[in-house]
Amino acid sequence: MAAKTERTFIAIKPDSVQRGLMGEIIKRFEQKGFRLVFIKVASEDLLKQHYIDLKDRPFYPGLVKYMSSGPVAAMVWEGLNVVKTGRVMLGETNPADSKPGTIRGDFCIEVGRNIIHGSDSVESANKEISLWFKPEELVSYKSCAQDWIYE
């Protein structure tokens, strides 16, 4: 692949897991051509650390309670412009502002249950990935479809 790839952090939130949407969300990233590098389930302590920058906000306790109410599938995806493209695929933070065809536009209604998190920049992605995953957990491989996706 000639172009430089990057990695992003995507978390499928408890409401997605409970509603059986994990497969559909993973499918969309795979069909786009991105590679899944690793996936695991989160702990409450890790969730508190992930949202530490929001700890002084009034919604922080409710956010941590919601995020730890069930399984969270934390993933790393790799590909060309995966951060920016991933954010477009997710839709707006507020589902009411999300276009049909986006994950949030298709599957959710309220911002408090917006089913998925995605890094908003390469810097955030690197920070979130290093918080959630050890370097040795992440795999690197070349998909046999790579030459059909990238020039």
Binding-site annotation: residue ranges: 13, 59, 87, 93, 104, 114
Q: Distance of alpha carbon 9 from its chain centroid, rounded?
A: 5
Annotated catalytic residue, options 7, 35, 50, 117: 117
What phi and psi, each to the nearest 5 degrees, are found at residue 22?
-55, -50
Which residues sit in the known binding site for ATP?
13, 59, 87, 93, 104, 114
3-state secondary structure of 39: strand
Whats the size of the chain, residue-wise?
A: 151
Active site includes 117? yes
Alpha carbons 80 and 142: distance in angstroms, whole number:
13
Residues assigned a catalytic role: 117
